[in-house]
Amino acid sequence: MGAKRDFNVNVIKTEVVAASLPMQEHWLPQSNLDLLLPPMDVGVFICYQNPIISGLPKYSFGSMIKVLKVSLAETLVSYYAFAGELVQNLAGEPEILCNNAGVNFTEAWADVELKEINLYNPDESIEGKLVPKKKHGVLAVQATHLKCGGIVVACTFDHRVADAYSTNLFLVSWAEIAQSKPLSQLPSFRRSFLFPRRPSYYDPLVIDSMYIPISALKQETRAVTNIDDNDQVISRIYYVKAEDISRLQSLANSCNNDMISTKFHRFTKLETFSAFLWKTIANGMENNSTPNYENFRFGIVVNGRSRLSDGDEEQAKVLKGYFGNVLSISFGEKKVEKLKEKPLSWVARAVHEFLEHAETKEHFLGLINWVEDHRPEPALARIYATNEDAPAVVVSSGQQFPVGKIDFGWGEPVFGSYHFPWEGKAGYVMPMPSPKGNGDWVVYMHMLKWQLELVEASASNVFKPLTADYLNFK
């Protein structure tokens, strides 16, 4: 393994790639669930080794760039929202102007080998270097040629237009078109299943506890005196072995029978992982090096596609290809002392209980009505209301990240990850499948520095820094 080192990225050129077929300009309204997303960009990057190593010497950097551009232009015909622009309508709400303005495509060169990139610290190696900054439009792409002959393909997209599920569909389609394969899944922009019900109905006890209008947020803001203004929010990438995930799941479920509950539930791997992370950070809090918080919030992003179909096969087919945001963020808040003293099974039960609120069709239909009743005022998930005096962490499952399917013709990726260094103080964690396909997880974490220090100090046997050795980079 080469030594990790800093490196420079030089832009060769940037040009606009538009859809390969002309399209009639039209407006695509945002759904009510899209309107819950504030303006923020999300990145994703995928690493490929030198094609010669894969036995594909016909691919030079120039030929790879040509494949990427030609196939991107064809892919944008189906994924036309990514070639448009987000503009405000007369009510002040964002809408997508589908005008084929195109996507900024940047070609770059980095004086580093793939095995020398410090993936453990993406703030140093990825941010501002390999993932592009989106200056306009909805999507930006960068392809970076490495000194070893490898290539990194990265995208930055506007989260108000697409969630990770939608972007995964796009990436797989792009790779399929690059290899002249038929699309395995056509995207759908049909918004009708996300229209509000008439008459409007939702449970205010549930929805009002999860989401808040921006105006009410300003009224509820409380002074916080125990946050260090110099505290940093940083990103790290770890890997977690499959046997550690299974061990934690067994540990949580082994005591589950002792819990007082009306029904038994076997905790999932995501519930167990979330409970372990929640408890791990809480266990190290209230010492001399961390802020003194009484409560700790923890949330999980729920994909509503399977919930809204609710067994309807035709609806499920439409939702499988739906492009847009179909998300809700359910969370719980517990006292730090309780999280410290209670067993993992108790914390996992707490995770399961707050998740239950958002895992139904009725929840998502109610959330759509709640947004409709508050429009055009923007709203926000309450867990992101970080002016309140409790730290917060949100987990978004990336287990459907199809890293092995994003093959443009020069071999499967050797690594891929989402990259979301947003400016908020609430932590963001995304566990994804390892490209090794052995059940391990790759975990992207973007949290306060003291939180990550607690994780590394007390759970280093579970969260191991991602290295080129682990990924078997050549």
Taking CA atoms, 433 is separated from 154, 238, 245, 277, 418, in Å, by: 18, 12, 12, 18, 12
Please tell me the predicted confidence (pLDDT) of residue 133: 95
Please tell me the predicted confidence (pLDDT) of residue 387: 54
Which structure tokens are listed for 373? 């009743």
The helix/strand/coil state of 344 is helix
Tens digits of pLDDT across the chain (474 residues): 456 778 999 999 999 999 999 989 999 999 999 999 999 999 999 999 999 988 888 899 999 999 999 999 999 999 999 999 999 999 999 999 999 999 999 999 999 999 999 999 999 999 999 999 999 999 999 999 999 999 999 999 999 999 999 999 999 999 999 999 999 999 999 999 899 999 999 999 899 999 999 888 765 544 333 344 447 899 999 999 999 999 999 999 987 654 444 456 899 999 999 999 999 999 988 765 566 789 999 999 999 999 998 778 888 888 999 999 999 999 999 999 999 999 999 999 999 999 998 999 999 999 999 999 999 999 999 998 765 568 899 999 999 999 999 999 999 999 999 999 888 889 999 999 999 999 999 999 999 999 999 999 999 999 999 999 999 987
Please tell me the predicted confidence (pLDDT) of residue 262: 43
The whole model's pTM is what?
A: 0.94
Please tell me the predicted confidence (pLDDT) of residue 224: 35
Closest by CA to 82, choosing from 164, 18, 176, 177, is 18
Please tell me the predicted confidence (pLDDT) of residue 428: 96
Please tell me the predicted confidence (pLDDT) of residue 317: 87
Hunting for tokens 């959330």 — which residue is that? Answer: 367
- In order of their start, the domains of the chain are 9-194 (3.30.559.10), 204-218+228-471 (3.30.559.10)
CA distance 275 to 349: 8
Q: Are 109 and 9 in contact (CB under 8 A)?
A: yes
Residue 216: CB atoms within 10 A of its CB come to 17
Please tell me the predicted confidence (pLDDT) of residue 257: 54
HEC letters along 145-170: EECCCCEEEEEEEECCCCCHHHHHHH
CA distance 82 to 103: 7
Q: Say which amino acid occupies 323.
A: F
Closest by CA to 47, choosing from 113, 103, 107, 111, is 113
Provide the β-strand partners of residue 153: 46, 143
Q: What is the Cα gyration radius of the chain? A: 22
Taking CA atoms, 52 is separated from 113, 152, 180, 410, 435, in Å, by: 15, 16, 21, 9, 20
Taking CA atoms, 134 is separated from 119, 140, 156, 158, 446, in Å, by: 22, 5, 6, 8, 20
Please tell me the predicted confidence (pLDDT) of residue 225: 33
